[in-house]
Structure 1
Amino acid sequence: MGKSKKWVSVLICSLLVLALAACNASEPKTNENNGKSSTPEPVTEGNDEELKPEAGAKLVIWEAPEQQDYMQKVGKAFEEKYGVPVTVEVVAGGDQGSRLSTDGPSKTAADVLTLPHDQIGLAVKAGLLLPNDVFEEETKAANLETAVVASSFDNVLYGYPKSVETYAMFYNKDLFPEAPKTWEEIVTFANTYNDPAKNKYAIMWEFVGYYTYPFIGSYGGYMFGDNNTNGADIGLNKGDVVEGFEYLRTLKKIVPMNAGDITYDVKTQLFKEGKLALNIDGPWSVAAFKDSVNFGVAPLPKFPNGNDSVSFSGVKSYYVNSYTAYPIAARLFASFASSKENQLLNYELTGAIPTNKEAGEDPLIKEDPITSGFFQQFSHSVPMSSVPGVDLVWEALKATFVALWDDPSLDIKTTLDNMVKTIEDGLKAK
């Protein structure tokens, strides 16, 4: 108990020092590194120069194997700027959250780590993360709102957003010189292109809640209230969702297959063969098509109600371990590593799509026909939920989409209401 109180006292004193430093801050320097060199180097200047790390500070950073080259460069640049030694340890992305839960309290965890946004709820409740308080305003101003919301819990910002992923629309450029912008355009194209006997189709997506959510989100529905954080408020049958499902059913004339027959493998092979014109998928599939299809990536099509297609998204951010011995240095590093310039460096080295708004406008992103499509769609996305028991929702959504697609005799409203009741009962039993 004595050690805990002592640590809290040190942190409070540190924050007071930060506040005084901020009051006397001068104008930040402008960074001139545009990240366009063939051998990119990490940024060594930023707007946080007035803050000073603790004397004798040294940091350990956890990073996934595929991010090692990038993080080694950033760590070296940070050490050159602040004089703080940085050690990068390889920890798989999926293991960092669980490692923090055990290694954090024993003070053997990294000072800064990366988490996907749907893991932060449990980490915050366990007291494992420090809020992004010192850099809160600039983080909010610099990054897309969806990324900021995803990196927050109970309206408190914890993360320093670094990269995003969502799905979008792959289009065959030999069939579509320009990507269609609306569902109406796709239906018109399908009326002359489709030929089921030759396995030729205009568009496909998997009938699971993740990919079919736009027919809910674009019609005023939602998974959970309060930005997908309130498990007591289920909105899958609210707004004009019935209308969304009615429109979904009209599309069976251009995708004349049962839902279970539209698998990842089926649509991937058809797209490779040039028989599928449009394929709704994520950045993880880019490599599968690079050597076989002349394709681009564009935002999902607008609906007849005029709304953009609302997809689900995931956000990865840096987080500061609440047990760090160097809370100022760790905050500085998380902010430094997530800057616009270092997000562009991460993109150049690993292909990670930035969350920073200015980075999204950079020629590196904007002139890339693949990355720009995902980035644009991300701005029309909502973060996946981290509410305990969300797995029940995924299961129920898939069953509902499949049932309403395959069986046109089912009443949409009744089916949706029954689905929500099933989810509510399941969450109560958790």
Structure 2
Amino acid sequence: MGGSTALAALAGCISTDSGDGGSGDGSDGSDGSDGSDGGSDDGSDGSDDQNTGTAALWTDLSDGEDEAMSGYVDDFESETGHTINREAPGGELDQQLETAIPSGNGPDSWIWAHDWIGRFAVREEPPFLYDASDDVDVSLDSYSGAAQQAVQYDGALHGLPFASETVALYYNKDMVDEAPATVEEMVSIMDEFHDPGNGQYGLSYPVANPYFVSGYVQAYGGNIYDEENREVTLDSDACKEGMDALETLSDYVPADPGYESQIVAFADGAAPFAVNGPWELANLQSEIDNLGVAPLPAVDGNNPRSYSGIQTIYFSAMLDDADQSTVDAITRFAEWYTTNEEVVETNAKEQGYIPVLSSVIEGGDFPAEVEAFAQQVDRGVPTPTHPDMNSVWTPLTEALTRVFNGDQESGPALDQAASEIRENL
């Protein structure tokens, strides 16, 4: 399914209970002055009949996203009188939340993909999430079916969605005429450029990150985690076959599999390809004059089934004891940001965000980059939200690292990771 058809599918065909998952980073923007969905429905023009409040929002965004978000927050504050104090978490976001919320110093909201909702929704001592079902005025029918499901857990509303995301293939058009359709074609191109001794590589790809590699690990039909049956299936023959494809690609990346080392190689023109998400689009467009984006190349006729995420403005348990004005401030901002058509359309064009606002999906004319990410979302699977996934990431990351470093064969590495995950469940 391609182009606008893939975007239209997001309005209802992708569901969060399809059996696997997605994750990672994202942003959008406008002033809502046209009175569209960002107007009276979301409370952005309601400052005259409510007390203005102040809320804390934690964000961990790329430079391009961060700049855009600053503008949107300014617009919202000017329109409503509410104040949104936006801060960086000062470290890994989930680790900072684990410390800050129990101590009573957590934010009122944060932005991340939907897959943390299940993990945090089951936490009771202390609770981590707030149910805003009675505070939010916007109808959830405003969003795609996948997005509606992504922000709810056991009937509680823990956030509002603003974009879908996954990883796709970036390519430098000054180095490559067109995107490869298959891994075989990609390998033949990478062979022309890969020269590590001279700082040149075939590919930029964080190959030890489970979210980034999920597409190829699951390309042959296997699932890292079978959410429907709540089973760890990482050690299946299908996933092991997918690992073989991943190892082929791993031979062409820089020696350090870390995120920063990988993305810098592509941004600096030292690699023709990169596997990354829409959160890097604005940054890469500023570095590369002729940038292209395409779905991940197929392997043996199989389209990579990458994890996809729904970017979400979360509602924190800090709101349980907050003044009503604080609750109003953050819920109004979430409504304004996620339902303002101008914001959503601008984010699609400038940040590569894949819209989940139904009115924009149905009538939008999107850049080729957004269409490419939308195609990959359509081929992929939503990141599982079940709390069991919290036990999956670390063992799988460690297994991928051992394989990349040559310390273990891929089959035994997946066997070990699956065993460790089952022991932790």
| TM-score normalized by the length of structure 1 | 0.66
Partner of residue 206, structure 2: 206
**Conserved 8 A contact 1:144-1:356:** no
Question: Mapping of 1:24-423 within 5 angstroms?
Answer: 40-46=31-37, 56-63=50-57, 66=66, 67-77=69-79, 79=80, 85-92=81-88, 94=93, 113-116=109-112, 117-120=114-117, 121-122=119-120, 125=123, 126=127, 128-132=129-133, 138-139=139-140, 142-143=143-144, 145=146, 147-154=147-154, 156-190=156-190, 194=194, 200-208=200-208, 209-226=210-227, 233-238=231-236, 240-249=238-247, 251=248, 256=251, 260-264=255-259, 267-268=262-263, 270-272=265-267, 274-282=269-277, 283-284=279-280, 286-287=282-283, 290-313=286-309, 315-319=311-315, 321-323=319-321, 325=324, 334-341=334-341, 343-344=343-344, 347=347, 351=351, 353=353, 354-359=355-360, 366-367=366-367, 369-379=368-378, 380-383=380-383, 387=387, 390=390, 393-404=392-403, 410=409, 412=411, 414-423=412-421
Root-mean-square deviation (CA, aligned residues, Å) is 4.6
Mapped to 2, the partners of 1:100 and 1:263 lie a distance apart of 28
**Conserved 8 A contact 1:167-1:313:** no
* Change in 2 beyond 3 A, CA 1:99/1:143: farther
Amino acid at match of 1:302: A
Partner of residue 5, structure 2: none
1:421 Cα deviation from its structure 2 partner? 0.9
Amino acid at match of 1:422: E
Superposed CA deviations along residues 101-158 of structure 1, whole A, max 9, x for unmatched, are 6659xxx975xx344235444356417412447879943562362x444423346443
Amino acid at match of 2:366: K
Q: Which moved more, 1:48-57 or 1:193-202?
A: 48-57
Q: Which moved more, 1:134-143 or 1:392-401?
A: 134-143
1:355 Cα deviation from its structure 2 partner? 3.4
1:317 Cα deviation from its structure 2 partner? 2.0
* Change in 2 beyond 3 A, CA 1:154/1:240: farther
**Conserved 8 A contact 2:204-2:253:** no
Counterpart secondary structure, 2:272: strand
1:172 Cα deviation from its structure 2 partner? 0.9
**Conserved 8 A contact 1:63-1:114:** yes
* Change in 2 beyond 3 A, CA 1:172/1:150: same
Amino acid at match of 2:76: V
% identical equivalent positions: 19
Superposed CA deviations along residues 355-407 of structure 1, whole A, max 9, x for unmatched, are 335545776x722x5455445444435337573783x6333223333444565
Counterpart secondary structure, 2:315: strand
1:161 Cα deviation from its structure 2 partner? 0.7
The total of aligned residue pairs comes to 369
1:214 Cα deviation from its structure 2 partner? 1.6
1:224 Cα deviation from its structure 2 partner? 3.5
Mapped to 2, the partners of 1:164 and 1:278 lie a distance apart of 22
Mapped to 2, the partners of 1:124 and 1:286 lie a distance apart of 36
1:312 Cα deviation from its structure 2 partner? 4.9
Mapped to 1, the partners of 2:181 and 2:138 lie a distance apart of 35
Amino acid at match of 2:176: F
* Change in 2 beyond 3 A, CA 1:97/1:345: farther
**Conserved 8 A contact 1:225-1:234:** yes
Larger Rg: 1
Ranges in structure 1 where 5+ consecutive residues have no aligned partner: 1-34, 80-84
* Change in 2 beyond 3 A, CA 1:366/1:421: same
Structure with more relative contact order (C-alpha pairs < 8 Å, separation 6 or more): 2
Ranges in structure 2 where 5+ consecutive residues have no aligned partner: 1-27, 60-65
Mapped to 1, the partners of 2:260 and 2:129 lie a distance apart of 40
